[in-house]
Amino acid sequence: MATTGAEQIFKEFREHSAAEFFKKNRQMLGYSGAGRSLVTIVHEWTSNALDACEEGGILPDIEVSIKKAENNRYTIRVSDNGPGIPKNFVGKALATIFAGTKFHRYMQQRGQQGIGAAGCLLFSQITTGKPIFVKSSIGKGKAYSCHVALSTANNKPIITDMVDIDDKFQGLSVEGEFADIRYEVGEHSAYEYARRTALSNPHAQIKLTDPNGQEFLFVRSVNKLPARPPPAKPHPAGLGTSDLLDFAHVSQSRKISSFLVDTFARTTSNKISEIREVDPSIDMDEDPKRLTWEQAEKLVNAFKKIKWMAPDASYVVPIGEAQIKIALKNILNPDHMSVTERKPQVFRGGIPFVVEVAVAYGGNSGKKEAEGFSGNILRFGNRVPLLFDSGSCGISKAVNDIDWKRYNIDMETQPVSIFVNISSVYIPYSGVGKEAISPEDEIIEEIKLAVMEAARGVQRYIKGREQVNFNANRYKTVARYVKQLSGDISDLTKADRQKIEKKLEGIVSKHFPKSRDEDKEEATGQETEEEPT
């Protein structure tokens, strides 16, 4: 057997940049398939635009324009009325993977990784070789424009054509030319993305112009910005030893005790005393920069033995029941809706999150099928619609685990939409493309509770409607059995099918011709009493 030496093998050893990695594995960023790739671009730029506006304290006005270009290409432009990007940051912000303002801050935002915008640029470069065109306000009636490219070999931005312009334009506009994408309609489209964004962001106005020039305007239905969540302090109950060490080693505090109080939520001097009592061997006067793994582990273990107040709810800002109702009314106009508002919970010991659920029935809820309707799940993470990868998403898992029959809801045949939004300082997405949420136990459990709560509200509504049809349906079922049974008997015995059917129908109808008429009357009588929500 010919063996190859290790030295020989390792001649091929190379290091690569994050940009090279994602260039090769673009599907991990959501660039798989022409239809999804287009939505991914809209998704990334739109969610950045919303974050920017909110961070700037401005009610968002977002315009998404998708135009056909030559050679099966598209030009996509997303512009906002936010604060813009200072010149010296534009390259890093739009053309460097793993860079940004969001990654290290423990704060509820749509973006959290510093990958999305650079991924869009990478995809334009891969498919058309072109940089993106950027225009940004810089205040006082001034703006600039430039082209931004990304050097994949070293993950660095390349800025060209930087021009100062006198322009009252306020905000940021990014525009790119892409191939290997396609504008589609349906459940996984840019239109659906915009519609769902409007659902979860009633304070934003969104205009989508499709490649035929048709404009879709989702008007602002709430004239107030959501409360801006402050950057959170991490909660001690959710800390790992490694995290604690990272914080300690960059701390400016002189003692462990003051480091803990300064850095973490709910950590008062009383708590320091409690920690001392739980484990007297921890030296609270030590310099945090010199904290060892062993000491840090002792601290983490002590944290777990203490009763902490839950994380401050102000770190996490849900959409809110009233706003969800306005948005659902505006977009789905359902016959009935039930919205649950629940308290913040924590996962991984200390990361706060809030689950909001609405179940909407009738109107434009659910999904239109060739015949009738089916139910659908509208998933959101920090108000960002998640359109893809539902098969591996914790939200879908939680919703599908529910025994819907118990709530008189049939997801196969009814016009029902299950709206689920998770708000958190950190959403544990299962992939870099951020389309599915990792099925953490605490999150799954909380979604189920919230969904069941909302489902009960819709159940009461449906029950009222369904009672009237109950007996009529029962009769239909029995009639179906008669047909099936007589067919089966006839198949097996070659006896005349119609004769058998008649005989069986005789037995059935002798017993309830009366109840059948009653059902019909009851159904007609009650249906006129229904009131839409």
Q: For residue 287, give both structure tokens.
A: 């310099």
Residues within window 451-470 making contact with its own copies, judged by CB under 8 A: none
Interatomic CA distance for residues 361 and 465, integer angstroms: 12
What amino acid occupies position 403? Answer: D
Residues of this chain, 71-110, that bind its own copies according to CB under 8 A: 83-86, 89, 92-93, 96, 98-101, 103-105
- Smallest gap from Cβ 122 to its own copies, in A, equals 10
Residue 357's CB is within 10 A of a number of other CB atoms, namely 28
Q: Where are the alpha helices (DSSP H) in 250-403?
A: 256-263, 269-278, 293-305, 321-331, 394-401
> CB of 47 within 8 A of CB of 111?
yes
From the list 121-129, 189-197, 263-271, 307-315, the region that binds its own copies by CB under 8 A is 121-129
Residue 5 or 186 with smaller CB distance to its own copies: 5
Can you say whether the dihedral through the CA atoms of 174, 111, 201, 180 is positive or negative? Answer: positive
Q: Is-contact 291 241, C-beta < 8 A?
A: no
114 vs 311, which CB is nearer to its own copies? 114
Specify the residue, 84 or 350, whose C-beta has the smaller distance to its own copies.
84
Give how many residues touch its own copies by CB under 8 A: 100
Query: Residue 430 or residue 533: which is nearer to its own copies going by CB?
Result: 430
Say how many Å lie between the first and final Cα of the chain, rounded. 77
39-51 residues labelled b (16+ CB within 10 A) or e (exposed):
bbbbbbbbbbbbb
What is the closest distance, in whole angstroms, from the C-beta atom of residue 339 to its own copies in the complex?
A: 27
Strands 172-178 and 205-209: unpaired
Nearest-approach distance from CB 190 to its own copies, in angstroms: 20
Residue pair 34/181 in contact (Cβ under 8 Å)? The answer is yes
Q: Which two tokens stand for residue 216?
A: 């879709």
CA dist., res. 285 & res. 256, Å (int): 6
Residue selected from 213, 403, 507, 532 as contacting its own copies according to rule CB under 8 A = 507
Of 333-392, binders to its own copies (CB under 8 A) are 389, 391-392
Least distance between its own copies and beta carbon 79 (Å)? 15
Smallest gap from residue 15 Cβ to its own copies (A): 4
Instruction: Tell me how far apart the alpha carbons of residues 446 and 311 are, in angstroms, rounded to a whole number.
Output: 16
Token couple for 99: 């860079």
Q: Is 378 helix (H, G, I), strand (E, B) or coil?
A: strand
Considering only 284, 428, 456, 501, the residue that binds its own copies (CB under 8 A) is 428
Residues in 171-190 that interact with its own copies by CB under 8 A: none
Could you tell me which stretch among 186-194, 329-337, 433-441, 457-465 binds its own copies (CB under 8 A)?
Answer: 433-441
CB of 522 to its own copies, least distance (A): 14
403 three-class SS: coil
What track of x and - describes contact with its own copies for positions 57 through 76 (by CB under 8 A)?
xxx-----------------
Cα–Cα distance between 451 and 417 in angstroms, integer? Answer: 11
Which residue, among 381, 384, 389, 429, has the nearest Cα to 30 in the 3D structure?
389
| Calpha distance 139→87 (Å, rounded) | 12
In this complex, which beta carbon is closest to its own copies, that of residue 15 or of residue 529?
Answer: 15
Length of the chain equals 533
Nearer to its own copies, 288 or 334 (CB): 288
Does 330 bind its own copies (CB under 8 A)? Our answer is no
Contact pattern for its own copies over residues 123 through 162, marking x by CB under 8 A: --xxxxx--------xx-----------------------
Tell whether residue 25 is a contact of its own copies (CB under 8 A).
yes
Which of 115, 106, 157, 112 lies closest to 22, judged by CA?
115
Rounded CA-CA distance 114/366 in Å is 34
Q: How many Å apart are CA 35 and CA 190, to the nearest integer? A: 9
**Contacts with its own copies in 474-493 (CB under 8 A)?**
474-475, 477-478, 481-482, 484-485, 488-489, 491-493
Minimum distance of its own copies from residue 531's CB (angstroms):
30
Interacting residue with its own copies among 438, 469, 526, 533 (CB under 8 A) = 438
Least Å distance between CB 100 and its own copies?
A: 7
Smallest gap, in angstroms, from Cβ of residue 106 to its own copies? 10
Q: Is 305 in the site for its own copies (CB under 8 A)?
A: no
Tokens 């964004």 map to which residue? Answer: 197
Contact segment (CB under 8 A) with its own copies among 197-205, 352-360, 412-420, 510-518 equals: 510-518
Q: Per CB under 8 A, does 522 bind its own copies? A: no
> What is d(CA 441, CA 395) in angstroms, rounded to the nearest whole number?
11
Write out the binding residues for its own copies, residues 239-298 only, by CB under 8 A. 240-242, 245, 293, 296-297
* Tokens, residue 444: 């799954």
15 binds its own copies (CB under 8 A): yes
Instruction: Report the nearest approach of its own copies to the CB of residue 478 (Å).
Output: 5
**Shortest Cβ distance from residue 28 to its own copies (Å)?**
6
Tell me how far, at minimum, the Cβ of 333 lies from its own copies, in Å.
30
Q: How far is the CB of 297 from its own copies (least distance, A)?
A: 8
**Considering the complex, what minimum distance in angstroms separates the CB of residue 326 from its own copies?**
20
Q: In what order do the strands lie in the sheet with 205-209?
A: 156-166, 142-151, 132-139, 172-178, 74-79, 61-68, 205-209, 215-218
69 or 138: CB nearest its own copies: 138
Subset of residues 231 to 250 that bind its own copies, contact rule: CB under 8 A = 240-242, 245
**Alpha carbon 417 to chain centroid, angstroms:** 15
